Amino acid sequence: MFDVGFSELILLAIVALVVLGPEKLPHAARMAGAWLGRIKRTMTNIQMEIEKEVSAQEMRDRINQEIERLKALSDPINDEIKAVENTIHQHVNDASQSIDAAPAYLEAQNNTPIATEPNTSDTATTTTDETNTDSVPHHPVTATEPVNLIKNQAL
């Protein structure tokens, strides 16, 4: 620290002995040692405080860097979330429009006449058809039957 060699320490001890005398030299040495100890402890404490502060600042810098990195990562994720929300809203709107248009469509289907095929069968098939109609009830097909079947299947 002070770059003092052994010979210089001996010279310093001789000068202190001559100046202070043999009675005051031990007391002066104790006081000098105590002051050097206090100075050393103070310097160590200051050094530790500086290291803690530097470490805390480095930690704050790292935390700020991580926050910035996470913000940069969250921007594309938020964009994707918004895109998915827009797609969902569009599908919901399309579905609600379809549901709103369904009664008008069904009404239009009920009002259209159903085309019937002309009967070109001969009498032999007519007699078999008449016998078959006794076992199977005759029931005209309407346009609403597929809708009713779908409703019944959904239930």
**Number of domains forming the structure of the chain:** 2
Q: Which domain does 65 fall in, by range?
A: 55-99
Reported as a pLDDT band with limits 50, 70 and 90, residue 51 is: very high
User: What is the maximal distance between C-alpha atoms in the chain?
Assistant: 155
Reported as a pLDDT band with limits 50, 70 and 90, residue 53 is: very high
Q: In this structure, is residue 42 part of a structural domain?
A: yes
What pLDDT, on a 0 to 100 scale, did the predictor assign at position 84? 95
What pLDDT, on a 0 to 100 scale, did the predictor assign at position 107? 81
CB 148 within 8 A of CB 109: no
Q: In this structure, is residue 132 part of a structural domain?
A: no
Helix (H, G, I), strand (E, B) or coil at 38: helix
Q: In this structure, is residue 13 part of a structural domain?
A: yes
| Full-model pTM | 0.39
Judgement on whether residues 79 and 60 belong to the same structural domain of the protein? yes
Amino acid at 65: Q
Judgement on whether residues 47 and 60 belong to the same structural domain of the protein? no
Highest-scoring range by mean pLDDT, 81-95, 110-124, 135-149: 81-95
What pLDDT, on a 0 to 100 scale, did the predictor assign at position 105? 79
Which of 38, 53, 68 is the C-terminal boundary of a domain?
53
What pLDDT, on a 0 to 100 scale, did the predictor assign at position 101? 84
